Amino acid sequence: MTRFIIYRVISIIPVVIGITIAVFVSVRLVPGDPIDLMFSNSAKPTPERRAQMEREMGLEGPMYKQYVTYMTNLLHGDMGKSYRTKRDVTESIRTRVGNTVKLTICSLAVALVIGLTAGILSATFRNSWLDRISMLIAVAGVSIPAFWLGLMFILLFSVKLGWLPVAGARTWKHLVLPSLTLGIVVSAVLARITRASMIEALSQDYVRTARAKGLRESVVVYRHALRNALIPVITIVGLLIGSLLAGAFIIEAVYGYPGIGLLAVNALQTRDFPLIQGIVLIIALTYVVINLLVDILYGLIDPRIKFS
């Protein structure tokens, strides 16, 4: 186990370097100059002033030299300063990341409750009306764009009924609609995977043996079948956390929820390179660590899995 964890941690290094290169190059290939955007409503800077600003913003010289400077600063714990706010990128992310973590955890809780429940019931009562209705709703959930569902929730629960606020993050009420929107969309995928995994587990010989012994159906389903069915589900959950983080970019923009997703959208609009790079790096590291934890959970759930 220890050797496996060390190997996976070392393998993260080239992944992170590749991500920094991809993001660094991509944001600079997007049309639009950050200096021109700063002066969009005023007189353009003089050539001398532009050269000075390029030096201050790390935009001077060829791209590979800019990348070397960026990585050198990053290895010293410096992600740079935001072009727009002049604040340290680390501080800007720190003030927003808590809101996104809360949104991700609440959305995942919603997805797990709805997705696992629907998947288990559909598999247990296979080909029944409950199974058909659950899978019909799951297909609809996969097909519906998250931003459209969010707008419909705003129209219904905020505009028509006035039950919940639209924007902000001051109270728990501001978290309800974004969490439901993300959680429902993700639960549709989770329900279909859980159903397929449970159907396969329920068809195994050990399940037939348990039923032949006269065990209650609830014991057969939850103690014998569910544990083995959870292995592929855990893989999907690890991937879905990445989907939740990506979906937060859209949902936070729809609801005006002040997390790192909304921060990233604003940074993209203003070509705030250091802020974009910092946000993507944090999300990428989170995604890689989550997948490492998922791999470790395999061995805890199924002792047959060996790490080598």
Query: In sequence order, what are the residues at sequence separation of 6 or more whose Cβ sits closer than 8 angstroms to the Cβ of residue 81?
Result: 87, 88, 89, 274
Predicted pLDDT of residue 40:
60
Tell whether 10 is covered by a domain: yes
Which spans in 172-272 are helix H? 173-202, 205-212, 217-219, 226-255, 260-269
Tell whether 271 is covered by a domain: yes
The Cβ-side half-sphere exposure at 293, using a 13 Å CA radius, reads 11
Q: Are residues 11 and 64 in the same domain?
A: yes
Question: Domain limits at 219?
Answer: 97-301
Q: Are residues 166 and 278 in the same domain?
A: yes
The Cβ-side half-sphere exposure at 76, using a 13 Å CA radius, reads 7
**Is the confidence at residue 118, as pLDDT, over 60?**
yes
Q: Are residues 185 and 59 in the same domain?
A: no
Phi, psi for residue 304 in degrees, rounded to 5: -70, -20
pLDDT tens-digit map of 251-302: 888 888 888 888 888 887 777 878 888 888 888 888 888 877 777 776 666 6
**Is the confidence at residue 23, as pLDDT, over 70?**
yes
Please state, in angstroms and rounded to a whole number, the distance separating the CA atoms of residues 248 and 263: 11
pLDDT tens-digit map of 209-268: 877 877 777 777 777 777 777 777 877 777 777 778 777 778 888 888 888 888 888 887
Residue type, 208: R
Q: pLDDT over 90 for what percent of the chain?
A: 0
Closest by alpha carbon to 138, among 195, 178, 177? 195
Residue type, 50: R
Cα radius of gyration (the chain) = 24
Predicted pLDDT of residue 42:
61
Q: Are residues 50 and 123 in the same domain?
A: no
Q: Are residues 69 and 124 in the same domain?
A: no
DSSP type of residue 78: -
